Structure 1
Amino acid sequence: MRILHSSDWHLGQHFMGKTRQAEHQAFLAWLIEQVQAQQVDAVLVAGDIFDTGAPPSYARELYNHFIVELRQTGAELLVLGGNHDSVAMLGESKTLLAQLNTRVIPGVCAQLSEQVLVLHTRDGQPGAILCAIPFIRPRDVLHSQAGESAQDKQLGLQTAIQQHYQQLYALAESKRDELGGQLPIIATGHLTTVGASASESVREIYVGSLEAFPTSAFPPAAYIALGHIHRPQKVGGLEHIRYCGSPIPLSFDEAKQQKEVLLVDLNSEGLQQITSLPVPRFQPLVSLRGSLTELHSAIVDAASKGTLDKPVWLEVLVTADDYLSDLQPRIQAFTEGLSVEVLRIRRERGTAVAGLSSASRETLDELSVTDVFAQRLVSETLEPELQARLSGLYQQVVAELTQEQA
């Protein structure tokens, strides 16, 4: 059986005032082509389909269009909820989507057996058994006890998540025995694992409770398809535990990453092969660092990657000249007549100013609550690490409020 592992689409994301709609549309069209060309049996999306719990209508339209197009290829679709996704929003259409060869697990199910799914090959034969595990919220598996310390809560949550995996794996073994005992068992997850390398667009998802889940706590599945970390990587050097990463860069520190999806081949003996499929870059994104003199030539070089209808999006970090008060007009002069848009200027000492192309045109109505917070945050003199943490905590609060309202 051949599975395509993807995650962290973040449909509907606004990036410093810029929509990612065209990039996501191009990626989903490319993904359909790969499913057809590679004769994929099932597509597995390991969480964060959407960027917020209340995505814009165009993002939902992209999602629905992809499901219809994928059905025509003959491949199954498995959708797992992530920490950015609304359980209620993802789940509202699961019954309808089941008629389109799509199964959705938006959150932990009341009946664990609903999370044990049989995946089929294109000819309709059982090909694998899936422990379909979405993002696990503490309230899904854990009851708080009065007087617990932070360390007690962390250990309790880790144990509860481990038990959830083990219980589902035991159910999957029983299902395998029912079907003849020859099928590989795979699992999913949307969480941070010990040793995983994150980026600034990845926020902590168990704030104050669980920082990272140990790889030794996973069951002995043939393959574990993970989401949440945006950089593709093996976990702990293990071939069978993988983050595929996000398909497009979601922050400037991901600009140099080669994004990918993974083809996973399995048979009755287990995992056979994993092949990475590089995702094309649909929007040039470049982060530059240096003095004004160095930046002038670097911006000219970066402009060669853009076109008139698709200029390069730039982040500029000014080093030796960061004390100057007129950085913005100086850099504006460097970009005249070039196919670039500067979205953010950062000073080495930790402050930043809003991007040139959007600052003069944006109104409050055009910005999301996240955009407003981000622009307010960069106006403060804070270290990048503290900015990233505050941003993560803010997004956590917004996601929880959105979930409650859903």
Structure 2
Amino acid sequence: MKILHTADWHIGQLFHEYDRNAEHRQFLDWLVLTIQAEQIDVLLVSGDVFDISNPSAASVKLFYTFLNRAAGARQGLQIVITAGNHDSASRLEAPIPLLESSNIHIIGTIEKNGEGKINYEKLVIPLHDPSGNIKTWCLAIPFLRMGDYPVIPDCENPYAAGVAALYQEAFDYAEQKKQQGQTIIAMGHLHTHHAEVTDLDKTERLIMGGVECIPAAAFHPDIRYVALGHIHKAQRIGGKEHIRYSGSPLPMSFSELNYKHQVIVFELDQEISHLKSIEIPLFVPLQRISPAPLPLHEILALLEQLPSARDNPEVAPYLEVKVLVDGPEPALRHKIETALAGKHVKLTTIHQIYPASVKKVPELITQEQLNELQPSDIFEKAYQSRYNSSIPDGLMELFRQVTREISNNNAE
């Protein structure tokens, strides 16, 4: 049985306000061809199919068009999809009645009976070899929200302990169903200990302030492969080849400038074998105008050298610009956009980088000293703290003019 692991598609995502529908379509077209070329038997999609819980009609159409094409491209292909934290779990599950006659399984929600017991029958999916025999049991666990996992009393981290307990109970349930010669694999959309994160992961994935990290030990050692989603960088976890994030198929931030996106393919018998990553083409390149921030006049000179749109048939790259400034630059964006007029790029972000300031011990100011400070003194301290330079004479004169006008108005 040959299995392909992917995750974190984020269909419908805007990259700095640029629509990525064409990129996602190209990726899904590539994925269909890869399923055919690699003769894949099982496709695992570990969460975050969509970027938002209420995706657009175009995004939904793109997803279901892919399912239809993939099922037709490889006879007997089995697809298991779990919901991520970006997905609406119930919305993702909505078409299940239409998919029951196919080999497509979508798991979004954790169901419980009247006594609060989890319905593991829903979460444990049999996967068949080309002969139709059950080859492995898949623990298809979606992103777990509060109330989804068992409550473990008197523990230091109730979330981590509850998630670990759910995986153990799901494994025990599958172990009871498993017959000789069959194996168990698992899926998850979560943050593991020591996972290497991207810039976007740092701001977005630490959902509960760090307590959500799950140790690799939460997955039973007899689970042959753990297909993870949620972290956008492909990697193995805990030094174990069989516990892996596949990573996102498209770049999610400029921190992934030199990163190769991929899917994971392996063969499963009693053990996994021939595990490999397959690089995904980069459909729209990322470009920085300079590896390090430069003064504005140097940046503008480099922008002028960029090729024009009319002379370049290739896809325009996303562009990030970092400018070294020593003070406020109100017309910065206008100057950069003017230099880029007609150029073959898509401007995304402009970062203003200020000279590194010398870290000092904060100066303690008493109430009496504070009362003695003039507005210009406070302005000068704030400017120095932010820009690490003295206020230009012209700007200080404007500030004093404003404060004088305010004082005169108050006096009247």
The TM-score bracket by the shorter chain reads 0.7 to 0.9
Partner of 1:125: 133
Partner of 1:374: none
Tell me which amino acid in the other structure corresponds to 1:41.
Answer: D
3-state SS, counterpart of residue 200 of structure 2: coil
The higher-RCO structure (CA 8 Å, 6+ apart) is 1
1:151-177 deviation digits (Å, cap 9, x = unpaired) = x5x611111111101111111212212
Tell me which amino acid in the other structure corresponds to 2:332.
Answer: L
Partner of 1:77: 79
Alpha-carbon contact 1:46-1:188 (below 8 Å) kept: yes
Give the drift of 1:213.
0.7
Distance in 2, Cα, partners of 1:311 & 1:174? 54
Partner of 1:290: 293
Partner of 2:181: 182
3-state SS, counterpart of residue 220 of structure 2: coil
Tell me which amino acid in the other structure corresponds to 2:231.
Answer: I
Partner of 2:351: 346
Partner of 2:275: 274
1:77-135 deviation digits (Å, cap 9, x = unpaired) = 11101000101101111121222320011122331121111112334232221111111
1:363-374 map, 5 Å: none
3-state SS, counterpart of residue 187 of structure 1: strand
Partner of 1:192: 191
Partner of 2:337: 332
Out of 299, 310, 313, the residue aligned to residue 318 of structure 2 is 313
Partner of 2:373: none
Out of 204, 228, 236, the residue aligned to residue 234 of structure 1 is 236
Cα distance 1:217–1:132, how it changes in 2: closer, same or farther (>3 A)? same
Aligned-CA RMSD value: 2.6
1:92-111 map, 5 Å: 92-110=94-112, 111=119
3-state SS, counterpart of residue 90 of structure 2: helix
Cα distance 1:334–1:109, how it changes in 2: closer, same or farther (>3 A)? same
Distance in 2, Cα, partners of 1:158 & 1:340? 44
Out of 95, 113, 133, the residue aligned to residue 121 of structure 2 is 113
Cα distance 1:217–1:343, how it changes in 2: closer, same or farther (>3 A)? same
1:44-82 deviation digits (Å, cap 9, x = unpaired) = 000000111100001100111011111111211111010
Give the drift of 1:230.
0.4
Distance in 2, Cα, partners of 1:144 & 1:217? 14
Runs of at least 5 residues in structure 2 that lack an aligned partner in the other structure: 113-118, 356-384, 387-412
3-state SS, counterpart of residue 30 of structure 2: helix
- Number of residues of Structure 1 aligned to a counterpart in Structure 2: 342
**2:210 is the alignment partner of 1:219:** no
3-state SS, counterpart of residue 66 of structure 2: helix
3-state SS, counterpart of residue 267 of structure 2: strand
Alpha-carbon contact 1:302-1:312 (below 8 Å) kept: no
Partner of 1:137: 145
| TM-score, structure 2 as length reference | 0.77
| TM-score, structure 1 as length reference | 0.78
Tell me which amino acid in the other structure corresponds to 2:121.
Answer: S
Runs of at least 5 residues in structure 1 that lack an aligned partner in the other structure: 351-380, 383-406
Alpha-carbon contact 1:142-1:156 (below 8 Å) kept: no
Cα distance 1:308–1:300, how it changes in 2: closer, same or farther (>3 A)? farther
Cα distance 1:22–1:247, how it changes in 2: closer, same or farther (>3 A)? same
Cα distance 1:278–1:297, how it changes in 2: closer, same or farther (>3 A)? farther
Tell me which amino acid in the other structure corresponds to 1:344.
Answer: T
Tell me which amino acid in the other structure corresponds to 1:325.
Answer: P
User: Comparing 17-26 with 293-302, which one deviates more in the overlay?
Assistant: 293-302
3-state SS, counterpart of residue 141 of structure 1: coil
Distance in 1, Cα, partners of 2:306 & 2:197? 26
- Structure number with greater Rg is 2
Partner of 1:68: 68
Cα distance 1:172–1:332, how it changes in 2: closer, same or farther (>3 A)? same
Question: After TM superposition, where is structure 1 displaced by more than 6 Å over at least 4 residues in a row?
Answer: none
Distance in 2, Cα, partners of 1:163 & 1:284? 42
Partner of 1:45: 45
Alpha-carbon contact 1:319-1:347 (below 8 Å) kept: yes
Partner of 2:396: none
Partner of 2:362: none
Tell me which amino acid in the other structure corresponds to 2:293.
Answer: G
Give the drift of 1:303.
5.3
Give the drift of 1:307.
4.2
Distance in 2, Cα, partners of 1:235 & 1:340? 37
Partner of 1:258: 260
Tell me which amino acid in the other structure corresponds to 1:329.
Answer: H
Distance in 1, Cα, partners of 2:23 & 2:124? 33
Give the drift of 1:226.
0.3
Cα distance 1:275–1:315, how it changes in 2: closer, same or farther (>3 A)? same
Alpha-carbon contact 1:68-1:100 (below 8 Å) kept: no
1:173-219 deviation digits (Å, cap 9, x = unpaired) = 12212xxx112211111011011011233323541472311112221
Cα distance 1:156–1:327, how it changes in 2: closer, same or farther (>3 A)? same
User: Comparing 3-12 with 136-145, which one deviates more in the overlay?
Assistant: 136-145
Give the drift of 1:251.
1.8
Give the drift of 1:333.
3.7
Give the drift of 1:238.
1.4
